[in-house]
Chain A
Amino acid sequence: MPAFIIRRLLQSMIVMFFVAMVAFLMFNYVGDPVHQMVGIDTSFEDREALRESLGLNDPVPVQFFRFIGNAAKFEFGISYQHKRSVTGLFKERLPATLELSFVAALLSLVIGLPMGVYAGLKPDGWLSKVFLSFSLIGVSLPTFLIGILLIFIFAVTLGWLPSYGRGEVMHIGWWSTGLPTISGLKALIMPSITLGLFQLTLIMRLVRSEMLEVLRTDYIKFARARGLSNRAIYFGHALKNTLVPVITITGLQIGSIIAFAIITETVFQWPGMGLLFLQAIHNVDIPIMAAYLMLVAFFFVVINLTVDILYYVVDPRLRLDLGKANGS
């Protein structure tokens, strides 16, 4: 077990190292950082002084390790476009993205799970077929198209929901949230559905196929033979056993929810990190791009590591296999 974790940890560190290298190369070699920070009327001497104070004249390896040191503290300098510290910008935007991602994940789980269970229990029912066709649409349609469609129906045609922004937000410390206000909640509905729909269909299909498989096993037959009620069989025995893969998939999907948030945030002009990153690409705002790259890589590495360790804890068979592999 410790050897397995250490190996995975090492692997994650290598990934972070490579991402840091890409971020560093971008930071140093795309355009001139000094040129981006000063005005046109800055004298040559002032520029050189700034260059020296930023340490841009040091040897490259020294600069790289300083970059990594700063990155560990999440310091990426000043955004070219906003003229503000990148750390501050991300701190401001982080709550919006996390709130959206969390609500989307919750929504997909709360709706997807019952739909999947129903479709698994009654595979020939008409409602199950409706669910399945619906899931095909959810898998096939691009995220941004779903967003636009929702905006067209509920904001433009019906005028029920706001089409952009977060509505009113409350500030608790540096954290901001739209959950306690009505306009904040209204603004959250369409983006979270857009973001969660793909995950919802994924969870539904997964639960359905797992349920179908589990219901065929011997212990379910045995439970029936014992005369247990359907309810106890379905929810006590069958559903419980389908949940392991569902939990791991949901865990892994948190990463892609954050990734897909870029698209959703653009469609709904949601003031989160994804929108910040996309605007940074358009404006070649390297510090923000570098910071986002590192942050997302970090999220992914942590999520994957956690899921791997969880697998190991949850599934005893895996422990046995690894033990054998190491022993031989």
Chain B
Amino acid sequence: MSDLKNSTADIAKPNLFIDTLKRFFDSDIFYSFCHSPVTIIASLLTLLIFVSALGAPFIAPQNPFDMGSLDLMDSHIPPVWAEDGDSRFLLGTEDQGRDLFSTILYGSRISLLVGFSSVSFALILGVSLGLISGYLGGAIDAVIMRIAEVQISFPAILIALLVDGVLRTLIPEADVEQLAITVLIFSIGISGWVQYARTVRSSTMVEKNKEYVLAARVIGIRPVFIMLRHILPNVMGPVLVIGTIHLAVAIVTEATLSFLGVGVPVTQPSLGTLIRIGNDFLFSGEWWITIFPAITLAVLVLSVNLLGDWLRDALNPKLR
């Protein structure tokens, strides 16, 4: 705000900001958002889960990762409204005496962390390879696209599982717990780069023959800068749509791998790990350990999916 007083040149800035905001509210995307109740609900739910996951340390009544605060006497307590419920534990507790509500909050935090990290990893890898492939062409393009072709014929979740499984056997046993999340992010990321690369490559091939790129080349800008400064901003639109849909896929993949026991370790359970823990107690009637994390996961994935679908349709001028 201090800029406002300083110089006349800067006065334009807040106006520009307001203009952008105005343009946003006038835009087709905002219009389509307001006229799709499903999307509004989905984004509210997503926001709710995001905020409560980020604010877990402030919201959660207990820190489930702090082993000192756990009491085994508190384990297997049903939710508050059940007969043996305990008012301290809203949704009951799991087998180690962790408060389920807190553990779900912290768990969705880990699920989101792994989801976002692996999407960013796949996005950066895929976009760079796509740019290089599309801009340079030739042998590099051929090699990258052959690899992509081979990879896309295998389902992503299988690749993630295989990479994760193989890497885990390579790590010394003592470090597995520490490195588990990194390995997981790497495996999910590496299984998802192809879509970004293919999309970016095809739009780069269109962009690189346009006049602005030719002009940039004529004045002698280095290829790296042309790719990053000039082409990249023009090919990012579809990448964002892929990224949103990929986020849902990444969260599901993380949950699945954790459920299979090759993902996040039990000491820092994600939603998938929690469901896995609860699955062992399903038959003794302790349904809450599985069902509550399962509902959270389902709502999260469904909302993100709906948002992604809407974004794809809203940004696609053909459908209007």
Binding site for B on A (CB under 8 A): 11, 15, 22, 26, 30, 136-137, 139-145, 148-149, 151-152, 156, 163, 252, 255-256, 259-260, 262-263, 266-267, 277-278, 281-282, 284, 286, 289, 293, 296, 300, 304
Contact = CB atoms under 8 A, between A and B. Distances in A.
Given A142-B301, A144-B256, A262-B260, A304 B153 contact: yes
Given A152-B291, A304-B153, 6 more contacts: A30-B170, A142-B297, A144-B259, A252-B153, A259-B157, A267-B279
A86 B121 CA distance: 36
B194 to A, nearest CB: 15
A39 B285 CA distance: 43
Nearest to B254: A142
Contact of A141 (B153, B166, B298): B298
Contact of A278 (B149, B153, B260, B290): B260
A263 B294 contact: no
B259 to A, nearest CB: 5
Determine chain B's interface SS by DSSP, over half rule: helix
B282 A296 contact: no
Nearest to A31: B169
B158 interface: yes
A282 B261 contact: yes
Interface of B: 146, 149-150, 153-155, 157-158, 161-162, 165-166, 168-170, 248, 252, 255-256, 259-262, 275, 279, 282-283, 285, 287, 290-291, 294, 297-298, 301-302, 305-306
9 contacts: A30-B169, A142-B259, A144-B260, A151-B282, A260-B155, A260-B157, A266-B260, A289-B169, A300-B153
Contacts, number: 97
Nearest to B287: A152
Nearest to B294: A145
Nearest to A285: B169
A296 B158 contact: yes
Contact of A140 (B146, B157, B248, B283): B248
Contact of A156 (B248, B282, B298, B302): B282
Contacts of A22: 166
B158 A256 contact: yes
A240 to B, nearest CB: 27
Q: Which of B169, B255, B256, B261 has the most CB of A within 10 A?
A: B169
Contacts of B252: 142
B166 A11 contact: no
B283 A259 contact: no
A26 B260 contact: no
A55 to B, nearest CB: 22
Q: Which of B259, B285, B287 has the most CB of A within 10 A?
A: B259
B301 A140 contact: yes
A300 B149 CA distance: 13
A145 B275 contact: yes
Contacts of A139: 305
Contacts of B155: 255-256, 259-260
A280 B191 CA distance: 21
B150 A11 contact: yes
A137 B302 contact: yes
Nearest 4 pairs between A and B by C-beta? Answer: A259-B158, A281-B165, A256-B155, A140-B302
Nearest to A282: B261
Given A289-B169, A300-B153, A300-B154, A141 B260 contact: no
A278 B153 CA distance: 22
Contacts of A289: 165-166, 169
A136 B302 contact: yes
A148 B275 contact: yes
B204 to A, nearest CB: 22
Contacts of B255: 142, 144-145
A296 B153 CA distance: 12
A209 to B, nearest CB: 13
A137 B291 CA distance: 16
Contacts of A142: 252, 255-256, 259, 297, 301
